[in-house]
Amino acid sequence: MSVPDLASLHALGPSQQPDYPDRAAVDVAVARLRTLPPLVFAGECDELTEKLADVAHGKAFLLQGGDCAETFAGATADNVRNKLRVLLQMAVVLTYAASVPVVKVGRLAGQYAKPRSSNSETREGVTLPAYRGDAVNGFDFTEAARTPDPQRLIEAYHSSASTLNLVRAFVTGGYADLRQVHTWNTDFVSTSPAGRRYEQIANEIDRAMRFMSAIGADPDEFHRVDFHTCHEALVLEYEHALTRIDSRTGNPYDVSGHFVWIGERTHELDGAHVELLSHVHNPIGVKVGPASTADDLIALAGKLNPDNRAGRLTFISRMGAGRIADSLPPLVDKVTAAGIEVAWVCDPMHGNTFESSTGYKTRRFEDVISEVQGFFDVHRSLGTWPGGIHVELTGDDVTECVGGGEPVTEIDLNSRYESVCDPRLNRVQSLELAFLVAEMLRTA
């Protein structure tokens, strides 16, 4: 079945799309995007599908993380390296402490478009369009910045390309070599309790590697990691223009990223996002909130994965710490009973956002942990596999989420709040999360 054209997707009345003032300029940008090379290759997407099949079958754990919203200004070498570094550290902790293979997927190189609960934002009597991510408009609160500009789609492509180029260099060019396990633990993190705990694991890995080397073993896996990218497939112009036919198989792939997901606000069964992603052969995800029923999920699986291939579909639950114990079990239970192949992953971020007394959008580290614990508890009681976590984090020392072992307080939030969208775990909080999840995994 061929991919529907953009006009027929728009005819489905998609929500969360930019309101472009100049449609002709959109056509020009889309035509340009269609000429640009793929960012990822279909074969790489297939490799990730294989790995996610292991996740679905309880043989691997998915670590998916990165910014809520990447920015063009943030696509710097330091930023990308710091994000990669914290993900590598978390993966080491999870792999070593739980002896489970970890599938690493960065929320990066494409995470530039955001769904919003309101179309507009009002400040001191002035109302402007809401910020929808750098792929759509600017964050500054001016009419010029907030007007959606289709040229930004091209810039999103180039920013993704340079991020991905650097990521590829890091993961194959020596930075991700396991012998670097100590050098990842630098800066502020090494002096924190989580950093010191990490150092002990790094020492043990060192010793194991010296042993391997003494007996003459030096497997390729020591020197590079598999790392893939993901983002929310939100702006139809962008995702459609980057949907291409794979020359090996003749199948369409969305080559804007390896894994793409459909957000909580756009997963209607008959909607444009489900329609588009039903045609591409990437591994895909669907966010699942407390309003979803098991019948909804069974219908989505039927449309998005009619061949019931393991690894193709991941359900990313985002219930909130207070609701997961009630909301998740009936879904997992009935979807499992229906024989559906799916990986279950926990997003402990998006159900746990609140506004601090100081006016910041924030989350409590303790709520994040509590939702992940609830997720493990549900799967333990049903005999199913808690397949992974999907988190918003950064490699920097920001103050956006409150709590944690070196607690960030509501007063601290204004010292380094840099997110343009949702609050992210900082590097120490991310590492602490990895240790706590490793503990849960060990007993899973």
Degrees (nearest 5) of the Cα angle 150, 151, 155? 120
Q: Which amino acid is at 362?
A: T
Q: Rounded CA gap, 148 and 7, in Å? A: 19
Tell the smallest beta-carbon distance from residue 392 to Co ion (Å): 5
Cβ pair 391, 64 in contact under 8 A: yes
Find which of ligand PEP, Co ion, none residue 318 binds, CB within 5 to 8 Å per kind: ligand PEP
Q: Which of residues 167-206 bind ligand PEP (CB under 6 A)?
A: none
DSSP for 147-165? S--THHHHHHHHHHHHHHH
Q: Rounded CA gap, 439 and 97, in Å? A: 7
| # of chain residues touching ligand PEP (CB under 6 A) | 10
Report the run of H or E that residue 113 belongs to, with start and end: none
Tell the smallest beta-carbon distance from residue 166 to Co ion (Å): 23
Degrees (nearest 5) of the Cα angle 268, 274, 279? 160
Find which of ligand PEP, Co ion, none residue 115 binds, CB within 5 to 8 Å per kind: ligand PEP
By CB under 6 A, is residue 287 in contact with ligand PEP?
yes
Question: Which span (36-44, 63-71, 85-93, 152-160) binds Co ion, by CB under 5 A?
Answer: 63-71
Determine the number of helices (DSSP H) and then strands (DSSP E) in the chain.
13, 14
Pairing of strands 120-123, 126-129: antiparallel
Q: Rounded CA gap, 330 and 297, in Å? A: 11
Contacting residue, 46, 347, 400, 422, with Co ion by CB under 5 A: 422
Contacting residue, 51, 146, 152, 318, with ligand PEP by CB under 6 A: 318
- Nearer to ligand PEP by Cβ, of 150 and 285: the residue is 285
By CB under 6 A, is residue 115 in contact with ligand PEP?
yes
Q: Which residue has the tokens 């930075």?
A: 175
Q: Give the single-character DSSP code of 38.
A: P
> Per-residue string for binding with ligand PEP, 64-93, x by CB under 6 A?
----x-------------------------
Tell me the two tokens of residue 48.
């990730």
Q: Which of residues 334-363 bind ligand PEP (CB under 6 A)?
A: 350
Contacting residue, 68, 136, 202, 297, with Co ion by CB under 5 A: 68
- Nearer to ligand PEP by Cβ, of 2 and 117: the residue is 117
Q: Rounded CA gap, 239 and 5, in Å? A: 12
- Nearer to ligand PEP by Cβ, of 84 and 233: the residue is 233
Question: Which span (61-69, 222-230, 257-265, 404-412) binds Co ion, by CB under 5 A?
Answer: 61-69
The β-bridge partners of 391 are 65
Tell the smallest beta-carbon distance from residue 358 to ligand PEP (Å): 22
Q: Which residues make up the interface to Co ion (CB under 5 A)?
A: 68, 422
Q: Which residues make up the interface to ligand PEP (CB under 6 A)?
A: 68, 115, 232, 263-265, 287, 318, 350, 422
